[in-house]
Amino acid sequence: MLTDVGFKAMNATHRILLKISGGRVGWTAQDMPVLELTTTGRKSGQPRSVMLTSPLQEGAALVVVASRGGDDQPPAWYLNLRDNPDVRVRLQGGPSQPMRARIATPAERERLWPLVIADHQNYAGYQTKTTRVIPLVLLDPPR
């Protein structure tokens, strides 16, 4: 299991890849679009950015998985958006856009989870590593 330092190093490496390639490499991973999610730190109040994949798009909403690789603790970005759902999203190198995050309801998750794992079995594997139900988050454009 990766530690917080490991996850931060992985994100830093991803950003370096994007920078040295001029954005030509790194905006997709495992056939999924990559996005940069910026939340407001629940303790610091400061912007916090993380690179994530979106295994599913539901209409105009982007779906992200709060798996943290199957860890028993949810990722910090999930806790941040749970407390403040106003986020910014930069999709595949485009400009940062304001969005509203919402945690999928149990019924939505029940419907969406099979769609997520149909093409991305790694998420199913993460779920087997933990007893917590891995949340799905929908990032909706402003209305």
Selected residue with higher pLDDT from 132 and 92: 132
Q: What angle do CA 85, 66, 27 make, to 5 degrees?
A: 90
pLDDT in tens, 76-104: 999 999 999 999 999 877 899 999 999 99
- Point out which residues pair with 86 in neighbouring strands: 100
Domain ranges of the chain: 28-140
- pLDDT exceeds cutoff 70 at 5: no
- Point out which residues pair with 33 in neighbouring strands: 28
What is the percentage of the chain residues whose pLDDT exceeds 90? Answer: 71
Class of domain 28-140: mainly beta
- Among all chains, which residue has been given the structure tokens 């779906």? 63
Q: What is the pTM of this model?
A: 0.84
